[in-house]
Amino acid sequence: MGSKITSRKIDYSKWYNEIVVNADLAENSAVRGCMIIKPYGYAIWEKMQAELDKMFKETGHENAYFPLFVPKSLFEAEEKNAEGFAKECAVVTHYRLKNDEDRPGKLKVDPNAKLEEELVVRPTSEAVIWNTYKSWIQSYRDLPILINQWANVVRWEMRTRLFLRTAEFLWQEGHTAHATKVQAIEETKLMNQVYADFVENYMAIPVIQGTKTASERFAGAEETYCIEALMQDGKVLQAGTSHFLGQNFAKAFDVKFATAEGGLEHVWATSWGVSTRLIGALIMTHSDDSGLVLPPNLAPIQVVLVPIYRGEEQQNEIAEVANTMKKALENKQIRVKFDNRDKFKPGFKFNEYEVKGVPLRIAIGPKDLQNGTVEIARRDTMTKTIVNQDKLVDFVLNQLEQMQGDLFQKALDFRETHITEVENFEEFKNIIEGKGGFISAHWDGTEETEEAIKKSTKATIRCIPLKSKTESGKCVFSGKPSNQRVLFAKAY
Amino acid sequence: MGSKITSRKIDYSKWYNEIVVNADLAENSAVRGCMIIKPYGYAIWEKMQAELDKMFKETGHENAYFPLFVPKSLFEAEEKNAEGFAKECAVVTHYRLKNDEDRPGKLKVDPNAKLEEELVVRPTSEAVIWNTYKSWIQSYRDLPILINQWANVVRWEMRTRLFLRTAEFLWQEGHTAHATKVQAIEETKLMNQVYADFVENYMAIPVIQGTKTASERFAGAEETYCIEALMQDGKVLQAGTSHFLGQNFAKAFDVKFATAEGGLEHVWATSWGVSTRLIGALIMTHSDDSGLVLPPNLAPIQVVLVPIYRGEEQQNEIAEVANTMKKALENKQIRVKFDNRDKFKPGFKFNEYEVKGVPLRIAIGPKDLQNGTVEIARRDTMTKTIVNQDKLVDFVLNQLEQMQGDLFQKALDFRETHITEVENFEEFKNIIEGKGGFISAHWDGTEETEEAIKKSTKATIRCIPLKSKTESGKCVFSGKPSNQRVLFAKAY
């Protein structure tokens, strides 16, 4: 704590890592690509989980738990899905260690304990879940199945970054089964909307909803809906996805149901997920060169009280007032910490909570005792206000609400000024290399063009936005006709 | 649903499995030894998690998350711990699959993607956590560290049973670091007490607290505290453990701290955990030949409303009253389900909720509408009471509380009549083979005697109870002097 954070302008990537580490959110572990989520970072994840879980339940979903391991023969059943994840699979091949005769006291893998069939550590659970749904679904009466799972998954990434891309990450994955295509598509859209609501209202991150092009779809999906968010460096982060899986998994696992009319049909599927990656988006959207900035709705500590005193007597006097304030604030469901540690100076504490992004800091010194005031500093604007103690609770409630709204508005303003409509490829390249952000451009709808643009600029089609008007134009790359703009950007 | 459950007397083990499956709690998966926790079973686990999590936080603990994988070199660092788990380790050896040329569209493990160092899927996380604590702890100011983790772990069991013994299970594991031995032992005892409070007050399962003998200790612990519960078949289940780890892990991972006096010492450690195994204990303590019986404090549905009607008009009339009742009950934080499904008859529903152990069932028919009454059936006693609708809320609140207490008392009475003091080994064998339960007997304190008794009777020392008077006597097996009785039993 107390170390200076590298400025965004000097080295954005370094700035990001220093925020993660200095704000005590996470750190790298001894296991390649796997991170340790520290208590303060995990507390943010818990807040996110609690809110999402509530939203899932309100939309009729229940939680369940399926195995960590997927037998290879199940994993490969849906070929596109398997192909999409094959290169990232951690594989369990043995089930026992034994003493290593060559190294007393050490262990080695027991060659006699080789599994008959290898087990894939789940990179996603469609296979193991649809193999289960096969026995759960016989008739239309068994549908829909609306299940969510909170779990860890493993995707063996070669280049990892804390929260953004890790070999193991925490997520939720919804897996639903429906009698009709229409219902499955409705579910896919509904959950994408739930994600958008959550990310905008709780994380204060504005998102653009859209669908993915074929090449960017989830492996095994017919359509992928997504929410895309712009980071401060002009790159875009996919914050959540919701997939319409058609009957692909039902066919791969032979899941059929008797219809009300007496027929027999394959079941329709969706899956949808968000992960600890969202914490990366949270950091990159709001934080500044002084450290993390947290939206009040997700902050584990919303208000910190820091006493300023000389000597034990003064400390005790202030503590009495501070504890009374703490109680009053807690009565309004505000999450408060009173940091009365004697071994650290106020300046040190100020810096700590600044780096940790605590929305409001209340300082109370001897003068405040005399005057019946406190000094309140707001993390995002760094403004300080002297407030009468008897108006504290209302002031705090108001500021927390204000800050939540302001953070969203600031991010929205930034995004709105970073969606650039371009009409030719020169302009496209200039924007991508310079200003960054989203480029709204016409595209001829072919994979070839998409690939060529990616090769030339590293920009990909982030989504075909749901809210966009039909507009005829010419593809920014090929000049061929197009009737809708899509959004390009460099992406995380 | 609706299928008869095997009686406990005829086949206890079959009865248990049928309850798990028929009450929709869990089922076996395609992965050897791994279970699928179904939504109803998972909802019970969520209730347990919520309460335990609250208790952990109230005692100063925070949650964090550590990697699923443990590099073999870390795993083997604390030798006793490693030796204890080596035979049950799932091991990841490769990180990629590739197309299998011999089977088009299928995959095989890519031999070129062999890991330099194998990764153990965590059977417990001491190794990976203490390797981390090494960098977190420099001085006494960094202590104590009080961290808990909710996670999945894998122990490759050869003979598995739903909830009781599965290759993968869900649990929480607390890992704390302390400056002094005294503090670490206090923490160990505190968390064992937290477990006892939770299991007794929420799960309505009486437990005996004690310490394990050396041979039954957690691998790597200096002392293991435990809570032991008696099941209806006379066998005992270890419901939770809390370990004082001494300085073993600090020494293995070289974790030292600067003391306030300027010295340098190894850190003291504890770890403690409970798992989804507790759901097995819950089932076996309270359930009967009609199905699951759930204590109200943990029941996902505490009250189910079942309408009895002929025709749509009557259904609508009853639904109106039922919905009003539901709201009134929910206002008191009671978890209520109104089952208004038209495709199932009341008898079918009655059976379903009986099997699922819903504490109170309220039936409302046309006569009840006329009389302003309902019929309330209590799951544990199977008693039915006609109650005036205007007294419904008070009656339900009272009955839920009563039932919670009664279930505990019933289990306690059963246990108290199944602790048998024995003075010689003949008696010991008779009790173990006949009546079952705990045997309170003198033991000479040697591992040889413990082992000989186990070999002869399959009974093990469940614990040296914390609450027991010093009493001189003779070992039930060897006749050697002893000054305290210990508790033997056959165990799950």
CB spacing of A107 vs B96 below 8 angstroms: no
* SS3 at position A82: helix
Disruptive mutation site among A21, A34, A99 for chain B (greatest number of B CBs within 10 Å): A34
Specify the fold of B419-489: Translation Initiation Factor IF3 (3.30.110)
pLDDT tens digit sequence for B392-413: 999 999 999 999 999 999 999 9
On whether the CB atoms of residues B35 and B321 are closer than 8 A, the answer is no
**CA separation (Å) from B226 to A80, A146, B125?**
49, 38, 19
Query: Who contacts A69 (Cβ-Cβ below 8 Å, separation ≥6)?
Result: A92, A119, A120, A121, A122, A128, B31, B34, B90, B168
Question: Which of chain B's residues have a Cβ under 8 Å away from the Cβ of A37?
Answer: 64-65
**CA separation (Å) from A401 to A296, A337, A364, A377, A396?**
8, 19, 23, 15, 9
On whether the CB atoms of residues A442 and A482 are closer than 8 A, the answer is yes
CB-nearest partner of A152 from B63, B152, B156: B152
Question: Which of chain A's residues have a Cβ under 8 Å away from the Cβ of B96?
Answer: 86-89, 91, 156
pLDDT tens digit sequence for A86-100: 999 999 999 999 999
Per-residue pLDDT of chain A (492 residues; tens, 9 = 90+): 445 899 999 999 999 999 999 999 999 999 999 999 999 999 999 999 999 999 999 999 999 999 999 999 999 999 999 999 999 999 999 999 999 999 998 999 999 999 999 999 999 999 999 999 999 999 999 999 999 999 999 999 889 999 999 999 999 999 999 999 999 999 999 999 999 999 999 999 999 999 999 999 999 999 999 999 999 999 999 999 999 999 999 999 999 999 999 999 999 999 999 999 999 999 999 999 999 999 999 999 999 999 999 999 999 999 999 999 999 999 999 999 999 999 899 999 999 999 999 999 999 999 999 999 999 999 999 999 999 999 999 999 999 999 999 999 999 999 999 999 999 999 999 999 999 999 999 999 999 999 999 999 999 999 999 998 889 999 999 999 999 999 999 999
- How close, in Å, is residue A137 to chain B by CA atoms? 14
B89 secondary structure, DSSP code: -
Disruptive mutation site among A1, A65, A112, A119 for chain B (greatest number of B CBs within 10 Å): A65
Disruptive mutation site among A92, A99, A170, A356 for chain B (greatest number of B CBs within 10 Å): A92
CB-nearest partner of B91 from A67, A92, A156: A92
Structure tokens at A161: 């970054």
Q: What is the predicted pLDDT for the residue at A1? A: 43
CB-nearest partner of A63 from B42, B90, B93: B42
pLDDT tens digit sequence for B178-216: 999 999 999 999 999 999 999 999 999 999 999 999 999
Mean pLDDT of B93-113: 95
On whether the CB atoms of residues A34 and B122 are closer than 8 A, the answer is no
Q: What is the predicted pLDDT for the residue at A158? A: 86
Structure tokens at B106: 């299928």
DSSP string, B378-390: ETTT--EEEEEGG
Nearest to B353 by CA among B308, B293, B400, B404: B293
Question: Which of chain A's residues have a Cβ under 8 Å away from the Cβ of B35?
Answer: 67
CATH architecture of A303-399: 3-Layer(aba) Sandwich (3.40)
pLDDT tens digit sequence for B123-142: 999 999 999 999 999 999 99
Q: What is the predicted pLDDT for the residue at A2? A: 47
pLDDT tens digit sequence for B59-68: 999 999 999 9
Q: Which of the four pLDDT bands, split at 50, 70 and 90, describes residue B158?
A: confident
pLDDT tens digit sequence for B11-47: 999 999 999 999 999 999 999 999 999 999 999 999 9
**Domain residue ranges in chain B:** 12-92+123-286, 301-399, 419-489
Please tell me the distance from the alpha carbon of residue A233 to that of residue A255, in angstroms, as a whole number: 46
Question: Which of chain A's residues have a Cβ under 8 Å away from the Cβ of B93?
Answer: 91-94, 109
CB-nearest partner of A91 from B79, B109, B168: B109
Q: In A76-221, which ranges are continuous DSSP H helix?
A: 79-85, 126-136, 181-201
Query: How many inter-chain contacts (A to B, CB under 8 Å) are there?
Result: 192
Task: Report the CATH number of the A12-61+134-286 domain.
Answer: 3.30.930.10
* SS3 at position B93: strand
Model pTM? 0.97
What CATH number matches the domain at B12-92+123-286, 3.40.50.2000, 3.90.180.10, 3.30.930.10, 3.40.250.10?
3.30.930.10
- How close, in Å, is residue B482 to chain A by CA atoms? 36
CB spacing of B168 vs A141 below 8 angstroms: no
Q: What is the predicted pLDDT for the residue at B470? A: 84
Pairing of strands A360-364, A268-275: unpaired
For helices B39-58 and B277-286, the axis angle rounded to 10 degrees is 110
Q: What is the predicted pLDDT for the residue at A470? A: 85
Q: Which of the four pLDDT bands, split at 50, 70 and 90, describes residue B3?
A: low
Please tell me the distance from the alpha carbon of residue A31 to that of residue B132, in angstroms, as a whole number: 11
CB-nearest partner of B107 from A65, A82, A156: A82
- How close, in Å, is residue A383 to chain B by CA atoms? 31
* SS3 at position B353: helix
**CA separation (Å) from A425 to A449, A477, B241?**
12, 6, 66
pLDDT mean across residues, chain B = 97
Q: Which of the four pLDDT bands, split at 50, 70 and 90, describes residue B2?
A: very low
Pairing of strands B107-109, B114-121: unpaired
CB-nearest partner of A121 from B34, B36, B92: B92
Q: b/e for A415-446, b at 16 or more Cβ within 10 A?
A: beebbbebeebeebbebbeeebbbbbbbbbbe
On whether the CB atoms of residues A91 and A118 are closer than 8 A, the answer is yes
Cα nearest neighbour of B88 on chain A: A96
CB spacing of A93 vs B91 below 8 angstroms: yes
Please tell me the distance from the alpha carbon of residue A295 to that of residue A285, in angstroms, as a whole number: 10
Pairing of strands B62-63, A485-489: unpaired
CB spacing of B87 vs A106 below 8 angstroms: no
For residue B167, is pLDDT > 70? yes
CB-nearest partner of A34 from B62, B69, B96: B69
Say whether B419-489 and B12-92+123-286 share the same fold.
no
Please tell me the distance from the alpha carbon of residue A370 to that of residue B161, in angstroms, as a whole number: 67
CB spacing of B91 vs A89 below 8 angstroms: no
Q: What is the predicted pLDDT for the residue at A3? A: 58
Question: Which of chain B's residues have a Cβ under 8 Å away from the Cβ of A76?
Answer: 105-107
Please tell me the distance from the alpha carbon of residue A222 to that of residue A205, in angstroms, as a whole number: 27
pLDDT tens digit sequence for B447-466: 999 999 999 999 999 999 99
- How close, in Å, is residue A327 to chain B by CA atoms? 16
Specify the fold of B301-399: Rossmann fold (3.40.50)
